[in-house]
């Protein structure tokens, strides 16, 4: 069991969206990790973040049953949500949370997530009253990752708010990359986005009414919808990359080995 994180003084809630119908790894929330379903492993990690409330949002009865069996709370949601943010909005409305409340979205495939990062992202949003969303990023040091479209990059303004997210290498070092793309130029502040989000409930209530943006369409990045419509996103700097989640069978095996080695 993960040790509790010290109370940060920031009040927030956590929702864990858990889709059973994963394309790359069907039944992912129920995948066994050393004797416990993945969603239960995530729930155990998240409980250490000192949130006011933690619940799992799912449309699958099997996921509901294992969460209830582990003493967790569940909100059954519609099966046709186009995104996890839409699912979060349904939960916030169903729970009657106030507009000023902060909700952290922790994916149901993050059994190694650090509870301190969850708390820190919530605190980053609480500290920026002009932001509707907070997320995280860390320094990118690999040129291969810089040019990998599966690695999302983010650039920020002087206040630490996101200017743009992209699958392309940003910022683009014109002269340096024009001469050589085998190394990252010294001093280039390229940051990799980490897909952990804290939202104000007021934003979640409006999200479903926001039209998708052309940028979102081309980049296939949902967060660009918020920027397109003028919402501000505060970006927390992490000292290092957090543990990766589970997207593939290979990821699942890596996580299983991590838990089994620790004997938990």
- Per-residue pLDDT at 84: 79
pLDDT (tens digit per residue) in 37-59: 999 999 999 999 989 999 999 99
Q: Averaged over 74-100, what is the pLDDT?
A: 91
Q: Which fold has domain 12-135+193-262?
A: Spore Coat Polysaccharide Biosynthesis Protein SpsA; Chain A (3.90.550)
Q: Averaged over 146-175, what is the pLDDT?
A: 96
Distance CA 235, CA 31 (A): 32
pLDDT range class, residue 205, cuts 50, 70, 90: very high
Omega within 30 of 0 (cis) for the link into 159: no
pLDDT range class, residue 264, cuts 50, 70, 90: low
The residues near 77 (Cβ < 8 Å, ≥ 6 apart) are: 57, 58, 59, 87, 90, 91
Q: What is the mean pLDDT of the chain?
A: 92
pLDDT (tens digit per residue) in 185-199: 999 999 999 999 999
- Per-residue pLDDT at 85: 87
Spacing of C-alpha 192 from chain mean position: 13
């Amino acid at each position: 069991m993960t040790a509790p994180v010290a109370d940060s003084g920031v009040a927030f809630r956590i929702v864990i969206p858990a889709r059973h119908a994963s394309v790359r790894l069907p039944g992912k929330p129920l995948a066994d990790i050393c004797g416990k379903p993945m969603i239960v492993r995530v729930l155990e990690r998240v409980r250490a973040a000192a949130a006011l409330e933690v619940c799992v949002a799912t449309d699958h009865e099997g996921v509901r049953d294992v969460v209830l069996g582990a003493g967790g709370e569940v909100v059954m949601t519609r099966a046709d949500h186009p995104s996890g943010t839409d699912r979060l909005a349904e939960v916030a409305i169903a729970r009657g949370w106030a507009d000023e409340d902060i909700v952290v979205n922790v994916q149901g495939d993050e059994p190694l997530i650090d509870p301190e990062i969850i708390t820190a992202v919530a605190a980053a949003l609480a500290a920026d009253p002009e932001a509707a969303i907070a997320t995280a990023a860390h320094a990118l040091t690999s040129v291969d990752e810089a040019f990998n479209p599966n690695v999302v990059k983010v650039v920020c303004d002087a206040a630490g708010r996101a200017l743009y997210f992209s699958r392309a290498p940003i910022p683009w070092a014109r002269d340096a990359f024009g001469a050589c793309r085998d190394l990252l130029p010294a001093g280039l502040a390229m940051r990799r986005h980490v897909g952990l989000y804290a939202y104000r409930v007021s934003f979640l209530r409006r999200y479903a009414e926001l039209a998708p943006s052309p940028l979102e369409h081309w980049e296939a990045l949902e967060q660009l919808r918020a920027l397109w419509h003028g919402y501000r996103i505060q970006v927390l700097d992490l000292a290092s990359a957090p543990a990766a989640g589970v997207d593939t069978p290979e990821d699942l095996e890596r996580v299983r080995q991590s838990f089994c080695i620790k004997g938990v």
